[in-house]
Chains A and B, each alone.
Chain A
């Protein structure tokens, strides 16, 4: 596995890039699906970590709502792929990724890929920590994602959500889910948000839990916690800068009877926001309550849900106003700056986009 070697050789915390694509499940390129082509590419390039996540609801630039609520509308659900590796390795796949996805959105962000769990010296004020795990990975007979969420909760981190991947690479190795398989190594991720200092203290403990930790750190701003408004998304100088809003809620949190994430997506769509995707997690928490997920016998679902909105900062401000109103009692809301974006535009070839982060 050359990629992990490449990472470790450059020190404990590497300045890496995170490449994210938002597109539709039915989108094709050539003879196959875009999702397969993207993950095939990441596999061939032995990308340190990549994951394919399925959304449960969302819409894109054309404002067609896709949702798993109805059988016919659940065709072509939104997909998200995330790939993180060192700068040169991500830059090497950038052009083919743009050529593969004729529609949809591609973003490039900074992330620090941690090859060991000693806390880096210059932690951001608020950090987003992503822990990549295998589906069947266990820690002392407990599923690893449960152990990680539990640890993060005990250390008082603002929130953590475990999301199941269906395809991806881990330490450069392609791991794809199959119908008849244990799918032990298929990647999943735990996304946690908290004060940088706290996240830094958790890192060595995570190192004690996980055999081959694969972690990334990013800078975020927390806008709302437990429904309480802390600060509206901070605008950057210059118009048209891109931002990403992430709304962590739960299936059990409702707005007028329906799960709040459904209400948020509907309102964002009618407010003219460029796109939104909701994913259902399998386990997690956001706020003071202990981590939760589905049980075998239950009255309604209990899993967490994450809604992602990527847009210009002007429209993110409008989206935040909607979210602020709907997530008034519960929910964790964060915002991040997106340095580089490519999205489908009429009459412009995707391959002509230049995505660069200085």
Chain B
């Protein structure tokens, strides 16, 4: 494991979180709703991407950079949880439940879809 690889993980990881911040902001403010669509969009697109990358069967280093560093920093579990908690705080329990169920169901489907696409390539 070279130093260069770890530097690349740091840089790509940082870039991934910046892309997430921008994507979440754009989707969130465009939707302008009480439902956290920004985080949902980020997590679903990340799941497709990660599925696709594993489907491609990349080498170890490429998988680390693309999977762990890029997609790992792009998607966010903690924000999903925080925003769900915010919804319950505001007594929007229906929306909180939808946020959990939809993210799980659509997330697994998205990863499967990504993998399917990856295997075709």
Residues of A within 8 A of B (CB): 64-65, 68-73, 75, 251-252, 254, 257-259, 262, 266, 269, 299-301
| The one of B20, B36, B90, B95 that contacts A70, using a Cβ cutoff of 8 Å | B36
Residues of A within 8 A of B24 (CB): 70-73
Q: With an 8 A cutoff between CB atoms, is B38 at the interface? A: yes
Q: With an 8 A cutoff between CB atoms, is B94 at the interface? A: yes
* Nearest 10 Cβ contacts at the A-B interface: A72-B24, A300-B91, A72-B25, A71-B79, A70-B28, A258-B34, A73-B28, A301-B89, A70-B36, A257-B92
**B29–A64 CB distance below 8 A:** yes
**B38–A70 CB distance below 8 A:** yes
Taking the nearest CB of chain B, how far is it from the CB of A76, in angstroms? 10
Taking the nearest CB of chain B, how far is it from the CB of A330, in angstroms? 15
Residues of B within 8 A of A65 (CB): 29, 32
**B91–A71 CB distance below 8 A:** no
Taking the nearest CB of chain A, how far is it from the CB of B34, in angstroms? 5
Cβ contacts B45-81/A at 8 Å (1 or 0 each): 0000000000000000000000000000000000100
Q: With an 8 A cutoff between CB atoms, is B3 at the interface? A: no
Cβ contacts B78-118/A at 8 Å (1 or 0 each): 01001100101111101100000000000000000000000
Number of interface residues of B (CB under 8 A): 22
Which secondary structure dominates chain B's binding surface?
helix
| The one of A64, A257, A266 that contacts B91, using a Cβ cutoff of 8 Å | A257
Q: With an 8 A cutoff between CB atoms, is B6 at the interface? A: no
- A258-B88 Cα distance, complex, nearest whole Å: 10
**B83–A257 CB distance below 8 A:** no
Query: What would 7 A/B residue contacts be, using CB atoms closer than 8 Å?
Result: A64-B29, A71-B39, A71-B82, A73-B25, A73-B29, A73-B38, A257-B34
Which secondary structure dominates chain A's binding surface?
loop
Taking the nearest CB of chain A, how far is it from the CB of B15, in angstroms? 16
Residues of A within 8 A of B36 (CB): 69-70
**B95–A300 CB distance below 8 A:** no
Residues of A within 8 A of B90 (CB): 251, 258-259, 262, 300-301
**A257–B89 CB distance below 8 A:** no
- A65-B28 Cα distance, complex, nearest whole Å: 10
- A262-B94 Cα distance, complex, nearest whole Å: 17
**A266–B32 CB distance below 8 A:** yes
Chain B: CB-nearest residue to A259? B90
Chain B: CB-nearest residue to A270? B32
Chain B: CB-nearest residue to A252? B91
| The one of A72, A262, A299, A300 that contacts B34, using a Cβ cutoff of 8 Å | A262
- A259-B91 Cα distance, complex, nearest whole Å: 8
- A73-B38 Cα distance, complex, nearest whole Å: 10
**A72–B38 CB distance below 8 A:** yes
Chain A: CB-nearest residue to B27? A72
Chain A: CB-nearest residue to B92? A257
**B88–A300 CB distance below 8 A:** yes
- A299-B32 Cα distance, complex, nearest whole Å: 25
- A55-B91 Cα distance, complex, nearest whole Å: 20
